[in-house]
């Protein structure tokens, strides 16, 4: 604690102010707490990642430790158990902490480890959401969104009280952390938070019915190569209200899905080529961020591969000649072409049938939806708990209970 700048008592400069309210909860508290914690980590030899400010890396000789912090919840992993134990002891000298042992539950995400790999699920969170919305006994659906039809702002009657709609949609957004299969459906209902209608509420219930059937689904990670493969796709002029295209992408590290996106693009595209090319640029920027992140993690990466199902967009990205017919394409979208020229990215064609990113751009029929979901590393089976990484909570002034 220090006296506020400009209000330092010259006679007692080292005195501190007596607070009339709790420090915890003030706007300045998170910044002050993070500054204190990160400064101490830097004293211990950690370096803050340039790609993610909440990630700290310790590298000394053969010892490598990663520390990830979210407010006062911390994950620690590394290749040296004794060094991790020493770090936990050092943190305990300055902060009041609770060592929760091997990682099994973090921010609502259930972590289970087996000999085959690691699973991340939110089954408890999903069941709590179904219970809160009285959908536990609802009839399950095979897909989260209707095939061949997009929601419109003019559909249905305006809800008299949109509070429940907004609350449930917000909860569904958090569920997409481990459920890429509902990303498009949730993105679609999120676009009507300002003025939801009865039709939009039916769409939300459909997502909940799908979750009822698949509440135990989640991501599954297994050991593999460090090759990045990304898939990019766009649904040209798919929105019935403003004709803005919806872009979808997913990025794999070896056999594991590490990033996905379903999002409306920033403006109207004049052609399907432009819509696909815009999504290529967005995906390329995400890949570039991952390259920086893995550099901070001290992990080597080969040249990433980006797959697209539009030949025209592929030619536009690979050909360094600026064609006159593409002058209307904004300059910043040629970022992907620059990456290809510098050999920091390779772009290849993939037929639409095998395009996994199609899952994030539109509602699909049950058969195709199921076939694409199978290509995601989704687990729907219980796995036994074994050894894991360390999780910890720093007790910085509030009491809390961890499962």
Q: Are residues 361 and 259 in the same domain?
A: yes
Q: Are residues 194 and 224 in the same domain?
A: no
Asked if the structure places residue 138 within a domain, the reply is: yes
Asked if the structure places residue 111 within a domain, the reply is: no
Q: Are residues 224 and 372 in the same domain?
A: yes
> How much is the pLDDT for 386?
37
Asked if the structure places residue 113 within a domain, the reply is: no
Asked if the structure places residue 124 within a domain, the reply is: yes
> How much is the pLDDT for 328?
59
Q: Please provide residue 98's backbone torsions phi and psi, each rounded to the nearest 5 degrees.
A: -130, 115
Q: Are residues 310 and 371 in the same domain?
A: yes
Question: Range of 192's domain?
Answer: 120-213
Asked if the structure places residue 403 within a domain, the reply is: yes
User: At how many degrees (to 10) do helices 163-175 and 183-190 cross?
Assistant: 150
Is 275:234 a contact under the CB 8 Å cutoff?
yes
pLDDT in tens, 286-326: 999 999 999 999 888 889 999 999 988 888 887 755 555 56
Asked if the structure places residue 109 within a domain, the reply is: no
Asked if the structure places residue 50 within a domain, the reply is: yes
Asked if the structure places residue 115 within a domain, the reply is: no
Q: Are residues 232 and 331 in the same domain?
A: yes
Q: Are residues 34 and 167 in the same domain?
A: no
Per-residue pLDDT of the chain (403 residues; tens, 9 = 90+): 778 888 888 898 888 877 777 766 777 888 888 888 999 999 999 999 999 999 999 999 899 999 999 888 899 999 989 999 999 999 988 888 888 888 888 888 999 988 888 899 999 999 999 999 999 999 999 999 999 889 999 999 999 999 999 999 999 999 999 999 999 999 999 999 999 999 999 999 999 999 999 998 999 999 888 899 999 999 998 888 889 999 999 999 999 999 999 999 988 888 888 899 899 999 999 999 999 999 999 888 889 999 999 988 888 887 755 555 566 566 666 788 888 888 889 999 999 888 999 999 999 998 999 888 888 876 554 433 333 455 555 554 433 323 2
Q: Are residues 372 and 244 in the same domain?
A: yes
Q: Are residues 95 and 139 in the same domain?
A: no
Q: Are residues 233 and 264 in the same domain?
A: yes
> How much is the pLDDT for 102?
87
Number of domains in the chain: 3
């Amino acid at each position: 604690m220090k006296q506020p700048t400009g209000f330092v008592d010259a006679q007692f400069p080292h005195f501190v102010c007596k607070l009339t309210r709790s420090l915890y909860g003030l706007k300045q508290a998170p910044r002050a707490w993070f500054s204190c914690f990160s400064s101490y980590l830097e004293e211990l030899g950690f370096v803050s990642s340039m790609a993610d400010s909440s990630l700290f890396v310790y590298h000394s000789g053969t010892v490598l430790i990663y520390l990830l912090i979210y407010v006062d919840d911390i994950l620690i992993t590394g290749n040296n158990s004794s060094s991790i134990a020493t770090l936990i002891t050092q943190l305990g000298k300055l902060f009041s902490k609770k060592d929760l042992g091997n990682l099994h539950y973090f921010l609502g995400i259930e972590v289970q480890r087996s000999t085959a790999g690691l699973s991340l699920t939110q089954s408890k969170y999903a069941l709590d959401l179904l219970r809160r919305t009285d959908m536990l006994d609802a009839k399950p659906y095979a897909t989260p969104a209707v095939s061949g039809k997009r929601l419109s702002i003019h559909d249905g009657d305006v809800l008299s009280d949109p509070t429940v709609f907004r609350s449930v949609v917000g909860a569904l957004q958090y569920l997409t952390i481990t459920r890429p299969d509902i990303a498009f459906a949730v993105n679609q209902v999120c676009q009507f938070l300002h003025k939801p209608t009865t039709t939009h509420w039916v769409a939300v219930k459909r997502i909940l019915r799908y979750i009822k059937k698949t509440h135990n689904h989640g991501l599954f990670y297994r050991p593999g190569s460090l090759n990045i493969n990304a898939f990019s796709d766009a649904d040209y002029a798919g929105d019935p209200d403003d004709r803005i295209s919806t872009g979808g992408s997913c990025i794999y590290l070896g056999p594991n899905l590490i990033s996905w996106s379903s999002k409306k693009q920033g403006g109207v595209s004049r052609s399907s080529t432009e819509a696909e090319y815009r999504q290529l640029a967005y995906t390329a920027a995400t890949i570039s961020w991952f390259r920086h992140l893995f550099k901070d993690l001290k992990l080597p990466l080969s040249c990433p591969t980006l797959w697209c199902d539009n030949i025209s967009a592929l030619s536009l990205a690979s050909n360094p000649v600026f064609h006159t017919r593409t002058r209307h394409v904004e300059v910043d979208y040629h970022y992907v072409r620059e990456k290809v020229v510098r050999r920091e990215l390779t772009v290849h064609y993939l037929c639409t049938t095998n395009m996994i990113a199609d899952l994030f751009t539109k509602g699909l029929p049950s058969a195709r939806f199921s076939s694409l979901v199978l290509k995601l590393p989704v687990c729907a089976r219980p796995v036994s708990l074994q050894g894991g990484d360390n999780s910890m909570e720093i007790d910085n002034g509030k009491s809390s209970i961890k499962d």
